[in-house]
Amino acid sequence: MNTIAKIILSMAFIASNVIPAAAFCAGKKTKYRFKKALAFNIFLFAATVIFTTIFAFSGNIYAADTAASSGTIATGLGYLAAALSVGLSCIGGGVAVSAAASAALGAVSEDSSIFGRSLVFIGLAEGVCIYGVVIAVMILGRL
């Protein structure tokens, strides 16, 4: 991938975050405008990822090309699988912690003796992220 394509992709990633945020902040902040800005952000980001994927898998692999790595499509897909396992498990862990922490905060405000038990449930929710990292290490160990 040449330098101009890298610059265009970098600008596209920045624009996919800046344009919807600026559009939301420019007007009256309502729930409808937030949903519209979020949908536009997701659309722009997905389009940029698809565009990048097409360019990344359409030719030779240039990044991190050393004598030790073979640079095959299997290596690239292995790195992609490791990144997805960490990313998606952390998103799931974040959702679980947000639900568990808000419930624990409400429960502790009523009865402070259950603070220790509520921390256990929050820790269990954070364990999902650790499982994703372990899977990613196992994937990267096979490459």
Quick: pLDDT tens for 73-113.
Answer: 888 889 999 999 999 999 999 999 988 888 898 999 998 89
Please indicate, yes or no, whether residues 45 and 75 belong to a single structural domain of this protein: no
DSSP classification of residue 138? H
Please indicate, yes or no, whether residues 101 and 141 belong to a single structural domain of this protein: yes
User: Could you tell me the residue range of the domain that residue 71 belongs to?
Assistant: 66-143
For residue 130, what pLDDT is reported?
92
Please indicate, yes or no, whether residues 45 and 3 belong to a single structural domain of this protein: yes
Q: Which two tokens stand for residue 110?
A: 């009523």
Please indicate, yes or no, whether residues 50 and 1 belong to a single structural domain of this protein: yes
* Total number of domains in the chain: 2
Mean pLDDT on 47-66: 67
Please indicate, yes or no, whether residues 113 and 46 belong to a single structural domain of this protein: no
Mean pLDDT of the chain: 82
For residue 69, what pLDDT is reported?
53
Please indicate, yes or no, whether residues 138 and 84 belong to a single structural domain of this protein: yes
Whether residue 135 has pLDDT greater than 90: yes
Contacting residues for 75 by C-beta, under 8 A, at least 6 apart: 61, 69, 143
| pTM over cut 0.95 | no
Buried b (16+ CB within 10 A) or exposed e, 44-61: bbeebeeeeeeebeeeeb
Please indicate, yes or no, whether residues 55 and 76 belong to a single structural domain of this protein: no
Please indicate, yes or no, whether residues 71 and 124 belong to a single structural domain of this protein: yes
Whether residue 121 has pLDDT greater than 60: yes
Whether residue 1 has pLDDT greater than 60: no
